[in-house]
Each structure stands twice: as structure tokens, then as C-alpha cells.
Chains A and B, each alone.
Chain A
Amino acid sequence: MHTEIRTSLNERLADTARRGNRRDVTTAAVLMALAVLYPLLGTTFQLQLLTSGLITGMVAMSFSLLAGFGGMVSLAQMAFYGMAAYVVGIGGHDMGLPALLTVPLAVLSAAVLAGLFGLIAVRSSGIYFLIMTLALLQMFFGVAMQWQSVTGGYNGVAGIQAPEVAGFSLGDAAPLYLVTVIVAAASYLGLRWLLRTPFGLTLQGIRDRPERMRALGFRVQLHRWLLMVLSGVIAGLAGVLGVYYHGVVSPDVAGLTASLIVVLSALVGGVSSLVGGLIGGILVTVLISVVSYLMQQWFGTSHYWTVVGLIFVVVVKNFPNGIFGVDARTRRVLERVLTRWTGAGSGDGARAPAGNGTSPQTR
């Protein structure tokens, strides 16, 4: 009897994984094909907007990684982004080092900074962790602002030249867009893979019941710290892309506004999913751009934050788990609508909802 259960469990697990993987691979292939082919159709402005959205989305993903899988709400992600951006700016522009050297160094520096912040921050949790990361963000801002001889102070570093990849300059919209798509997709897939390993399961356990995990012999703080370093790497990658996108880096990258846009992106996408961060980043970037354009057109003012803020209130109120972590209620409504549209017999829309939307799904 025991063997019977064993084979059936193993088969069931393997079967589910296989089915899930096949569906995911198809979805990913379609999305990537669309994303890569987009430059053929889109305008330069649209490409730039998407690039900027994906970069914000990567930072939001690093935020969701910490919040959704580690229970750590960090406001310091833009400091890691800024660290990488400054290393590329100072190393590449001021010191004339090649990108082949500055880029790895930038990501490494972001990881080291996250590691240092983590040494202090992982000892606290909840609201204290948040306040701690806010303080660390402000420290980074202060140093960037005041260490003028190195960082250029208020003005930062400007005129940063993007390198060439395979003969295409990353200073041009389409090549930078493509590289950003590839880096974002690779980061997402890498994290998704990692979170499905025992390491990911451990992180979920630590998020839900740290004291029990300790009593099971896990090194809770070490795992938290590792997650923090990992999030630093992702934010650092975004920082490298960001500095090539903007061509400048100033203390504002680690300002409160920039950090809030990241948090909002993660919330809109849903902190319980990684891909939510990416999508949220694009949505928020596009939204800000559209709203500020319309405000300018209709009212001749650049006060777009009020409108954007209102939209966020509505989104957060109606989609508490983000538009990607749609809760069971909304899902049911959506399914009913879909079933009606596609006809009751199609079956696709009537499929039972998977998960309850509260637990992070590794997608």
C-alpha cells in the first residue's frame, strides 16, 4: 500500500509540474516573441517608455521578492539601483573604464551594499525593517548628495555613454529595449527557478513562521540576508540599464519619489508574484506618462500626481492583491464573464480557480 501511494504521489507531482511547465514555456515563448518583435511596429517613444517601465519593473520585482517571499518590506531598493548606476557613471564616464569592467563591478557593488544594509536590517522585522531601510535609503541619498568630489553632488554624473553590443549602440532605443527585455526575462526566470527549489520553500517557511523555522534548525537570518543580497543584484542590474537609459545619475535616483514609484509598481502588480512587479512597472510608467501628457493638454499643468494617486487608491482598494494576484472574488466574476462570452460549453473559462490569491505563486 505504501509503494502504491508513493508512485501515485510522485506521478502526480511530476505530472503537475510537467503540465505547468509546458503551459509556462508556451506563454513565455509567445510573450518573448511579441516583446522582441515590438520594435518593428512601435515608435521610438513607445520603446523608450517600455524600456523605462521594465527597468522600474525590475526594481519592483526585487521589492516583491523581499516582500512577498521574505516578508520584508524594503524601501531601500533604489539605493541598490543607485549604487550600480553611480559605479557605471563614475567608472565609465569619470574614470574611463570599459563597460565590460564597470557593469559587473556595478552589480557586485549593489550586491555588497545590499549585503551591508542587510547585516543591519535583517535583525529587525515588520515596520522596524521598513523604517530601517528608509533610513538606509536616506543615508545613501545623503552620501550621494554630499560626497561631491566623487558623486558630483546635486548634479550627479552626466553624459554617460552607453556601450556597444554586437555593433549596436545601447544609446539607441531599440537595442537598449531588446537588452532590457532579455535581462528582465532572464532575471525573472532565474528567480522563478530559484524560488521553486528547496531554497524557495525555505523562504516561504521563514516568511510565514520564522520561529518554527528556527526550531527546525534553519538559519533564518542567513536566509533573509541572502534574499536581501539577491534583491540587490536584481536592483543593481536595473541600475545599470537605467543609467544607460537616462545617460545621467543624480541623488534623485535614491529619492523618496523614485522609491515610491517602485513600491506602487509592486503593489499594482501584486507583491505576491514576481511577474506582477514587471507588469506593474510598465503600467505605472505608462500611466504616469499618459496622465502627465493629458494634464498638460487639458489643463496646462504638470500636476499629475494627484490623478495618479487617485488611480492608485482605486486600484489598491479593488485589487488588494494587485492586478496579478487577483483575489478569489474577482476571479469568480471574471470567470463568469468569460464563460458567458466564450459560451458555456468552451470549458476554458469555467476552470476552477487555482490558489486563493493570497499565497505567493512562483510566477
Chain B
Amino acid sequence: MDAALKLTGVSRQFGGITAVSNVHLDLEPGERCALLGPNGAGKTTLFNLIAGDIPPSSGRIELFGEDITRHPVAARVWRGLRRTYQKSALFDNLSVAENLFLGALGPGGRGHLTVGRSLRSARARWAQVEHTADMVGLSGHLTTTAAALSHGERRQLEIGLALGEDARMILLDEPAAGLSPEERATLTGLLSGLSRDCSLVMIEHDMDMALALTERVVVLSDGALVAEGTPEQIVDDPLVREVYLGGGGEAA
């Protein structure tokens, strides 16, 4: 079976600075992977490369066995790739239901127009909206505008936007950023409940959360992949302690 995501020697330079350097990665379908690393390690840049916001300087990106290195953003989305943002990028003027509707409408086709076609399928999309709202715990807020949600609910909606029914690989950029411990617990529950049909790659600074949700951890430092293993291996790795945990810090 093809890897869900395969990175081969992916690098990206900005002028003289190497943000991502020769990264190799192989993810199985359904796998959960945490991407760790100190600030400025190139985690979000790597996400931007995978999502297609910026092209890599060199290397090859494959999604489910297909080379998508030169594909535009939308073409990757049609192939099942989704992402969330570190800073919630919601449609503040629209209701939760309308936000999720856009999330459900966008991915379901290839270069479709939203005229006509989506009018016929609108009913099915609304059903999907309610399903997604249920999954992210927002079914009680469907008619609330996104701007009126609490920070925690906004993070839940941020994830909801990425949960189309044909999502097969979701990149989560610090899903728990700025959340209280209770909100973190809600979010951890939500993420662990996601279908295994879908792979997850997660940037997360909260080690407890990252380690609880994933079976593989990849550590980036200065753009390079410096360690890879199960959560247990990573926590015990002296090199990782040095670059990320700041020496003898107790992580787990």
C-alpha cells in the first residue's frame, strides 16, 4: 500500500537561510504523527510545503503514491489533504453552520464551480455540516456567528473546517494553542475520536497532548529531522532532550 505522505529530501531556502533541510518522512494511512521542535525549527514551513502554499527548493512530496510536488493548493485539497492554522482562520461574519458548510462545499470536487452543482447537493452538504458540528462538539452553536464563539470553541471550529468527509490527511498546526487545561482535554477527546481512515500530522508544544494522541514523533531542529520514534523512545532520547526539552527537563 502506498504511503499516505512521503517526503523525499524536501528542502526550502529563503535567501541564504535554510528553513527546511533534506527532510525524509514516510507516513502510513491512518497514522498519527506529532511534529515537535523548538520555535523556528521549520515546522510550519514544512506544513506550508506539504499544503502547497510555497514550493520546495528541492525534493519530492507524494500524497497516497501520487507526486504532488508541483500541484497547486486546491489540487492537493481535492486529493484529501486538509490543514488547520495556528491562528484560527475562520469566517467571522458567518454562522458556525455556514463556516462548516464552506468546509464541506470546498473539497467535494475537482475545480468545480459552486454555481448550480452545489445548489442540487446543498441538502446533502447541510447533513454533513450537522455531522461535523456533532464531531467537534458545536451542534449547540450552529446558528452562532463565529466571532461570538469562545477561544476554545473557535479552535474546535478550526478543526471542523478541515473535517470534510473525504479528508484523508490532516495537518494540524498547534490545535491546542492558547487553550485552558479543560479545553485541551475536550480537544484531545475530539482528536482521539477521529476516524482512522484519516492520517494526522500535528505540530504541538504540549508534550502530554502530543504524546497521548500519536504513535510516532518526529523532531525537527534548525529545519532538519533530528529524531524519529515512538513517544516513549523520543522522551528518552538524550539528543531530543538537548534540542527540545532543554536538557534534563521532565516531559511526561
A contacts, CB < 8 Å to B: 2, 5-6, 9-10, 12-13, 194, 197-199, 201-202, 204-205, 208-209, 211-219, 222-223, 226, 358-359
- In the complex, residue of chain A having the shortest beta-carbon distance to the beta carbon of B106: A216
Q: Contact: A216 with B102, CB < 8 Å?
A: yes
Q: Contact: B89 with A209, CB < 8 Å?
A: yes
Q: Contact: A199 with B114, CB < 8 Å?
A: yes
- In the complex, residue of chain A having the shortest beta-carbon distance to the beta carbon of B92: A208
Indicate whether A222 sits within 8 Å of B113 (C-beta atoms), given known contacts A9-B143, A12-B143.
yes
> Which A residues are CB-close (under 8 A) to B119?
197-198
Q: Contact: B102 with A202, CB < 8 Å?
A: yes
> Which B residues are CB-close (under 8 A) to A199?
113-115, 118
Annotate B99-112 by CB proximity to A: 1 below 8 A, 0 otherwise. 00111011101010
Alpha-carbon distance between A2 and B130 when the two chains are bound, in angstroms: 9
Indicate whether A198 sits within 8 Å of B122 (C-beta atoms), given known contacts A2-B134, A215-B83, A219-B74.
yes
Can you spell out 5 A-B residue pairs with CB atoms less than 8 angstroms apart? A9-B97, A201-B101, A214-B73, A215-B73, A218-B106
B contacts, CB < 8 Å to A: 51, 53, 73-74, 77-78, 82-83, 85, 89-94, 97-98, 101-103, 105-107, 109, 111, 113-115, 118-119, 122, 125-126, 130, 134, 139-140, 142-143, 161
> Which B residues are CB-close (under 8 A) to A218?
74, 102, 105-106, 114
Q: Contact: A217 with B51, CB < 8 Å?
A: no
Q: Contact: B78 with A198, CB < 8 Å?
A: no
Q: Contact: A215 with B77, CB < 8 Å?
A: yes
- In the complex, residue of chain B having the shortest beta-carbon distance to the beta carbon of A197: B119
Shortest beta-carbon distance from A18 to chain B in Å: 16
> Which A residues are CB-close (under 8 A) to B51?
215
Alpha-carbon distance between A208 and B88 when the two chains are bound, in angstroms: 13
- In the complex, residue of chain B having the shortest beta-carbon distance to the beta carbon of A217: B77
> Which B residues are CB-close (under 8 A) to A213?
102, 106
Alpha-carbon distance between A219 and B53 when the two chains are bound, in angstroms: 14
> Which A residues are CB-close (under 8 A) to B139?
2, 5
Shortest beta-carbon distance from B140 to chain A in Å: 7
Shortest beta-carbon distance from A112 to chain B in Å: 19
Dominant secondary structure of chain A at its interface with chain B: helix
- In the complex, residue of chain B having the shortest beta-carbon distance to the beta carbon of A8: B142
Give the A-B contact count at a CB cut-off of 8 A: 99
Shortest beta-carbon distance from A271 to chain B in Å: 15
Q: Contact: B94 with A201, CB < 8 Å?
A: yes
Q: Contact: B114 with A223, CB < 8 Å?
A: yes
Q: Contact: A217 with B78, CB < 8 Å?
A: yes
> Which A residues are CB-close (under 8 A) to B98?
201
- In the complex, residue of chain A having the shortest beta-carbon distance to the beta carbon of B112: A219
Q: Contact: A216 with B77, CB < 8 Å?
A: yes
> Which A residues are CB-close (under 8 A) to B93?
204, 208, 358-359
B89, B101, B115: the one contacting A212 at CB < 8 Å is B89
Alpha-carbon distance between A176 and B114 when the two chains are bound, in angstroms: 36
A204, A205, A217, A223: the one contacting B107 at CB < 8 Å is A217
Alpha-carbon distance between A71 and B122 when the two chains are bound, in angstroms: 25
Alpha-carbon distance between A226 and B74 when the two chains are bound, in angstroms: 18
A13, A214, A216, A358: the one contacting B161 at CB < 8 Å is A216
Q: Which of A197, A208, A209, A212 has the most CB of B within 10 A?
A: A212
Alpha-carbon distance between A217 and B142 when the two chains are bound, in angstroms: 23
Supplied contacts A216-B103, A218-B105, 16 more A-B pairs, CB within 8 Å? A13-B97, A197-B115, A201-B101, A202-B105, A202-B114, A209-B89, A215-B51, A215-B73, A215-B77, A216-B77, A216-B105, A217-B78, A218-B74, A218-B106, A226-B115, A359-B93
Alpha-carbon distance between A223 and B51 when the two chains are bound, in angstroms: 21
> Which B residues are CB-close (under 8 A) to A201?
94, 98, 101-102, 105
Alpha-carbon distance between A212 and B85 when the two chains are bound, in angstroms: 9
Shortest beta-carbon distance from A72 to chain B in Å: 17
- In the complex, residue of chain B having the shortest beta-carbon distance to the beta carbon of A1: B139
Shortest beta-carbon distance from A213 to chain B in Å: 7
- In the complex, residue of chain B having the shortest beta-carbon distance to the beta carbon of A12: B143
> Which B residues are CB-close (under 8 A) to A10?
126
Indicate whether A208 sits within 8 Å of B91 (C-beta atoms), given known contacts A201-B98, A215-B73.
yes
Q: Contact: B130 with A9, CB < 8 Å?
A: yes
Alpha-carbon distance between A216 and B102 when the two chains are bound, in angstroms: 8
Alpha-carbon distance between A28 and B122 when the two chains are bound, in angstroms: 27
> Which A residues are CB-close (under 8 A) to B91?
204-205, 208-209, 212
Indicate whether A5 sits within 8 Å of B118 (C-beta atoms), given known contacts A201-B98, A213-B106.
no
> Which B residues are CB-close (under 8 A) to A222?
111, 113
Alpha-carbon distance between A214 and B83 when the two chains are bound, in angstroms: 11
